[in-house]
Structure 1
């Protein structure tokens, strides 16, 4: 249950970043902003939180999450007629995601009941 709540918090933060970057800067429709937020949340959880965070640490995972979120938005831009992402929108989106993910990782590491709860079994590569 706590993992679902954590994922909802992650989606809310990603949606806020997506709205700020792609609605206020690039004037995209809310449906496409929601799609970008959902794609970013899923990719960042699967790759950033489950793979990169336990092995490389929070800072590397946060930067990777920002880049991965921007890459997902760029791919959606390439394959969609209804979504346009400018370079400034992608940079703002990546920066907001990276900052939010850093604090989200602090929460993930500190809460034992949120999956995955096997953080820091191996020392992070630094």
Structure 2
């Protein structure tokens, strides 16, 4: 890693931004692009922001937990892996996970039984 983030461009309330923001927790440094939760939010807006940020972070942690439980390759530290290889590994695990979920859903609803009986 070279300490650079991917380039992004987006518009919010007619204001253009060119820097991405990343949800993080207390283990990360104080960088402008890392959005940490507000420890003791004061006021409705800050409380709502903290609630949504913490909820999104929990969803992401849960998703990674599901992938780690299914694929051993992403359970271990990855510092020695090249960034392109990490991207391919994660993309592959996500695609395989989605295929497994779709297959399990089809089996649950009997689609596979119908397909198998028509093939024979």
TM above 0.5: no
* Structure number, greater radius of gyration: 2
TM-score (norm: length of structure 2) = 0.32
Q: Point out the structure with the larger helix share.
A: 1
Q: Point out the structure with the larger strand share.
A: 2
